[in-house]
Amino acid sequence: MKKKVFVLIGCALFFFLPLIFAQESAPAEFFLRDTPNNAGEQVELTFRPLASPEEVPEFLLNITIGEKPVRVRRLVNAGKPVILPLITHQAGVPVKVEVQGVLPDGSLTDLGAVDVVSKGEWLNMNSMKAFILGLLFIGLIIFYVGRAKRGQDLFIRKIPGLEAIDDALGRATEMGRPVFYIPGTSSMADVATLASLNILRPVARQVAKYETPFSVPVKDPIVVSVAQDVVKEAYMAAGRPDLYEDGIAYLASMGQFDYSGAVSGSMVREKPATVFLLGMFYAESLILAETANSVGAIQIAGTDASSQLPFFIAACDYTLIGEELYAASAYMSREPLLLGTLKAQDILKGILLVIFVLAVIFQLLGVDFIMDSFLNPQW
Amino acid sequence: MLIWYTIAVLLSLAIFSFLWKDNPLYKFAEHLFVGTMVGYQVVVVFSQIIMRKIVDPISVALDNRQILTLISLVIATLIGLLFLARFSRKVEWVSRYPISITVGFWSGYAIVASFKTNILTQIRGTVVDDLGQPLLNGHLIGDFFKNPSLKTLDLATAGPLLVFGVIVVLVYFFFSVKHDHPMVKFANKPALFYLMIGFGASFGYTFMGRISLFIGRMNFIFNEWWPLLKQTIGG
């Protein structure tokens, strides 16, 4: 008898349990988690609809972030999982999401709520590979700078534009006309500006030696300060501090096109014999290069802005393309620090080129090892 | 309305007159532009930086008694004020501190970001396309031979051309290798070819953008200002 009862209960469970669970299975599953590798400024909601769009066409998300009022967001059921970032701006902010399903008749059904408190991490592991590469680069720089300081000759190939600098300055001196040096129109945050200011030093030294009038119109106030210091040091190094005045490097204007208008006007009036356009440039590049060309100046340009290089190549006599701008300062000054950096840069470039070629070959063979390890954006 | 539009048209023509030669009209427009922009920038700096980044946060920190925030804001402001030391010859050297902090911060800050976006992501984008398919894809080359057409040729060659171009251009920018090195010798010409094709395309693209700006200005003169002028004069 007992046996029969057990068999009956077993059969009943076998048939009815799936029905019970089927009735209880939610139309969607969702969870809220703190977005990893940030300072706590974001959490994310992962939402996966389980019911078909016919059963539940839409979901309503009632989102509460900190003490802000509840924000309702409508989510159309496309049958696909969605990851929704929710901005908290800082760590320690409680976030709560209450979910309701909108049934075909328009009625709402509560699907539950999830909450989390945003938290920040000390380390952004997504940047770890870049950090290690950075450390490797710094290590290479220290190694090669050491070698350069010990007097080891580090070869740098000729860069045609730089060979012309002496001739261009000599021409300005002979003609008794000024030299213009435009260190780009960006701020100190730009590597090209830093490279340009490095080239400004040897140019200013040469200009001081030749006693040629010199003008450095600048767009950014901080760059003006640095340019003034660089020019002053260069004049002192050339033994002509008497020729230096603060007005050599000056703030022409702070806007893009008013700056180019002001500099173009100065060029037309002062008719420089040589114009250097080295640094970061934007849409004003052609205006400046064309104006310099129209007054008959020799132009030596260089930028790492690939969108502006074509204009310089078309309008200027010599153009330093991309990285040549960075190499130029090392080439001209022969300072161990810059030479070592350039050598380290080449070595790192070589390592990356090898990784790139290996990645291409491995991909051809259907092996994802390098893509998954070295070139994966996530750590 | 007509007055402002007319001023805009006259100033546009004054700027365009520079194409003929430098003249008093251009000089006037240039000085007006520079003066206006400097005035505008002063207001922007005052309202967006001095008020929003210094005065307002300091007041909020004071009200909420957030001592650490207050200290960091005050220190940053004081460092920024050191820039003004440039006006005195005696203490001019002090202004180098904020400059060195700015340069040091930005250089350090740029290192990891540059490695991530300009190097690792770029290399990855040169090995595989957006869908994760390798750019050197044997199947696409096979597809071309099975079904030769312009489209399959484009699909088959785009990836290999890109990969080859990146390699030769990278070799072109090695500075510590002599010109007669076989690798450099091999890469030099194709690299320049790639670079010039790229620059040519970019030139054409940007030039069209400039033409569209010019058309926009002409459109303003002939389709906005001129009808408005006729309407106003004609009553």
Q: Is the residue at A348 inside a domain?
A: no
> What angle separates helix B150-172 from helix B182-219, to the nearest 10 degrees?
110
Q: Is the residue at A366 inside a domain?
A: no
Q: Is the residue at A24 inside a domain?
A: yes
Could you tell me which residue, A131 or A379, shows the higher pLDDT? A131
Could you tell me which residue, B91 or A375, shows the higher pLDDT? B91
B147's tokens: 């079904």
pLDDT > 70 fraction of chain B, expressed in percent and rounded: 100
Contact A223, A190 (CB under 8 A): no
Measured between CB atoms, does A334 come within 8 Å of chain B? no
Residues A213 and A85 in one domain: no
- Give the three-class secondary structure for B85: helix
Q: Which residue, A175, A365, A345, A192, is CA-closest to A277?
A: A192
pLDDT of A264 higher than 60: yes
State how far the Cα of B213 lies from the Cα of A25, in Å rounded to an integer. 59
- Strand arrangement, sheet containing A214-218: A249-251, A214-218, A179-182, A274-278, A298-303, A318-321
Residues A88 and A166 in one domain: no
pLDDT at A281: 94
pLDDT at A330: 83
* CATH number of domain containing A256: 3.40.50
Contact A120, A38 (CB under 8 A): yes
| Closest CB to B128 among A309, A313, A363 | A363
pLDDT of B105 higher than 90: no
Measured between CB atoms, does A158 come within 8 Å of chain B? yes
Q: What band does A93 get if pLDDT is binned at 50, 70 and 90?
A: very high
Q: B112 and A322 in contact by Cβ < 8 A? A: no
For residue A89, give Cα distances in angstroms to A67, A92, B48, B65, B96.
13, 10, 20, 20, 34
Q: What band does A8 get if pLDDT is binned at 50, 70 and 90?
A: low
Q: What band does B211 get if pLDDT is binned at 50, 70 and 90?
A: very high
Q: Mean pLDDT score of chain B, rounded to an integer?
A: 89
Q: A258 and B138 in contact by Cβ < 8 A? A: no
Least confident of A38-47, A160-169, A313-322, B166-175: A160-169
Q: Which residue, A201, A243, A225, is CA-closest to B86?
A: A225
From the number of C-beta atoms within 10 Å of its C-beta (0-12, 13-18, 19+), residue A292 rates as buried
DSSP state of A85: E
State how far the Cα of B65 lies from the Cα of A89, in Å rounded to an integer. 20
From the number of C-beta atoms within 10 Å of its C-beta (0-12, 13-18, 19+), residue A304 rates as buried
B18's tokens: 């520079």
Q: B96 and A375 in contact by Cβ < 8 A? A: no
Report the run of H or E that residue A97 belongs to, with start and end.
strand A94-102
The structure tokens 């380390």 sit at A123
* Enclosing domain of residue B163: 128-235
Residues A206 and A321 in one domain: yes
Measured between CB atoms, does B76 come within 8 Å of chain A? no
**pLDDT one-digit tens code per residue, A298-323:** 999 999 998 899 999 999 999 999 88
pLDDT of A379 higher than 90: no
Closest-CA residue in chain A for B119? Answer: A352
Q: How many angstroms separate the CA of residue A283 from the nearest CA in chain B?
A: 9
Residue B162 backbone phi and psi in degrees, to 5? -65, -45
* Enclosing domain of residue A33: 2-117
**Residue B128 contacts by C-beta under 8 Å, 6 or more apart in sequence?**
A363, A371, B134, B135
pLDDT > 90 fraction of chain A, expressed in percent and rounded: 53
Q: Is the residue at B132 inside a domain?
A: yes
- Give the three-class secondary structure for A54: coil
Q: Mean pLDDT score of chain A, rounded to an integer?
A: 88
pLDDT at B181: 87
State how far the Cα of B4 lies from the Cα of A301, in Å rounded to an integer. 39
**pLDDT one-digit tens code per residue, B6-16:** 999 999 999 99
Residues A185 and A325 in one domain: yes
Q: In A, residues 109-138, which contact B (CB 8 Å cutoff)? A: 127, 129-131, 133-134, 137
Residues A100 and A161 in one domain: no
State how far the Cα of A282 lies from the Cα of A206, in Å rounded to an integer. 28
Q: B174 and A134 in contact by Cβ < 8 A? A: no
Q: Is the residue at A377 inside a domain?
A: no
Q: In B, residues 159-198, which contact A (CB 8 Å cutoff)? A: 163, 166-167, 170-171, 173-179, 195-196, 198
- Number of domains observed in the structure of chain B: 1
- Give the three-class secondary structure for A63: strand
| Closest CB to B30 among A265, A324, A377 | A265
**A–B: how many Cβ contacts below 8 A?**
170
A274, β-bridge pairs: A179, A298
Measured between CB atoms, does A358 come within 8 Å of chain B? no
Q: B124 and A131 in contact by Cβ < 8 A? A: no
Residues A158 and A83 in one domain: no
State how far the Cα of B102 lies from the Cα of A188, in Å rounded to an integer. 8
Please report, to the nearest 10 degrees, the dihedral formed by the alpha carbons of residues A306, A309, A311, A317 taken in order: 180
Q: A189 and B106 in contact by Cβ < 8 A? A: yes
Domain finish residue from A313, A334, A355 = A334
pLDDT of A151 higher than 90: no
Q: What band does A95 get if pLDDT is binned at 50, 70 and 90?
A: very high
Contact A189, A279 (CB under 8 A): no
Residues A265 and A188 in one domain: yes
Q: Is the residue at B21 inside a domain?
A: no
pLDDT (average), residues A127-138: 88
Contact A88, A41 (CB under 8 A): yes
Q: Is the residue at B23 inside a domain?
A: no
Residues A92 and A188 in one domain: no
- Number of domains observed in the structure of chain A: 2
| Closest CB to A375 among B40, B96, B124 | B124
Domain finish residue from A117, A132, A165 = A117
pLDDT at B219: 95
pLDDT of A372 higher than 80: no
pLDDT at A14: 56
Residue A95 backbone phi and psi in degrees, to 5? -125, 135
pLDDT (average), residues A263-276: 94
Domain finish residue from A95, A117, A139 = A117
pLDDT at B140: 84
pLDDT at A24: 54
pLDDT at B235: 62
Measured between CB atoms, does A355 come within 8 Å of chain B? yes
Q: Is the residue at B194 inside a domain?
A: yes
Residues A328 and A220 in one domain: yes
Q: How many angstroms separate the CA of residue A333 from the nearest CA in chain B?
A: 15
**pLDDT one-digit tens code per residue, A182-229:** 999 998 878 899 889 989 999 999 999 999 999 999 999 889 989 999
B134, β-bridge pairs: B128
* CATH number of domain containing A50: 2.60.40.10
What's the 3-state SS for B10-55? HHHHHHHHHHCCCCHHHHHHHHHHHHHHHHHHHHHHHHHHHHHHHH
For residue A283, give Cα distances in angstroms to A58, A179, A196.
47, 23, 18
One-letter amino acid for residue A326 of the chain: Y
pLDDT at B24: 92
Measured between CB atoms, does A309 come within 8 Å of chain B? yes
Q: Which residue, A182, A201, A197, A214, is CA-closest to A282?
A: A182
One-letter amino acid for residue A359 of the chain: A
Q: Is the residue at B186 inside a domain?
A: yes
The structure tokens 């208008």 sit at A261
> What angle separates helix A221-237 from helix A191-210, to the nearest 10 degrees?
40
Q: In B, residues 103-162, which contact A (CB 8 Å cutoff)? A: 103, 106-107, 110-116, 119-121, 123-124, 126-128, 134-136, 138
pLDDT of A26 higher than 60: yes
Q: Is the residue at A367 inside a domain?
A: no
Q: What band does A1 get if pLDDT is binned at 50, 70 and 90?
A: low
Q: How many CB atoms lie within 10 A of CB A172?
A: 24
Q: B34 and A262 in contact by Cβ < 8 A? A: yes
pLDDT at A27: 86
pLDDT at A128: 85
pLDDT at A334: 80
Report the run of H or E that residue A362 belongs to, with start and end.
helix A336-364
pLDDT of A370 higher than 80: no
Residues A215 and A326 in one domain: yes
Report the run of H or E that residue A59 belongs to, with start and end.
strand A58-65
Q: Which stretches of B82-95 are DSSP H helices?
A: none
- DSSP structure string for A155-184: -----HHHHTHHHHHHHHHHHT--EEEE--
DSSP state of A70: P
**pLDDT one-digit tens code per residue, A106-125:** 888 899 999 999 999 988 88
**pLDDT one-digit tens code per residue, B60-74:** 999 999 999 999 999
pLDDT (average), residues B184-194: 92
Contact A276, A179 (CB under 8 A): yes
pLDDT at B13: 93
